[in-house]
Amino acid sequence: MGLREKGDSRDLNEYPEELKEEYLFLSNWIKELAQKYRERILIKVIDVQSLQGVMKSLRYWVHRYPTFIINKKRKYAGKDKNQLDTLLQEHLGSS
């Protein structure tokens, strides 16, 4: 794991500052969600430029990123942590 992280940070430094900030924001957010909800949610990160990413974008009519799909029914596009947390709490409370 330590070797991979070193390689990732070296690769990350090759990108423009704006993309680095975006990557760090999203990766930290995903880590926070994983710690908070543990086994109550399943997090899958899908590259929008991959075939799977294109197919999911079409299936869920996603035009903005990041987008979170909750239980294949609800979606949230944006960076408001509180708004996503509210949606997750509503879903987990009803399941």
What is the residue range of 10's domain? 2-94
CATH of the domain at 28: 3.40.30
Q: Which residues contact 54 (CB under 8 A, 6 or more apart)?
A: 48
Q: Given this model, what pLDDT does residue 12 score?
A: 80
Asked if 65 contacts 77 with a C-beta cutoff of 8 angstroms, the reply is yes
Question: Distance (Å, rounded) from C-alpha 84 to C-alpha 95?
Answer: 17
Question: Distance (Å, rounded) from C-alpha 88 to C-alpha 85?
Answer: 5
**Residues 21-73: tens digit of each pLDDT:** 999 999 999 999 999 999 999 999 999 999 999 999 999 999 999 999 999 99
Secondary structure of residue 14 in the 3-state scheme: coil
pLDDT at 3 over 80: no
Q: How many domains does the chain have?
A: 1
Q: Given this model, what pLDDT does residue 15 score?
A: 87
Asked if 24 contacts 16 with a C-beta cutoff of 8 angstroms, the reply is no
pLDDT at 4 over 70: no
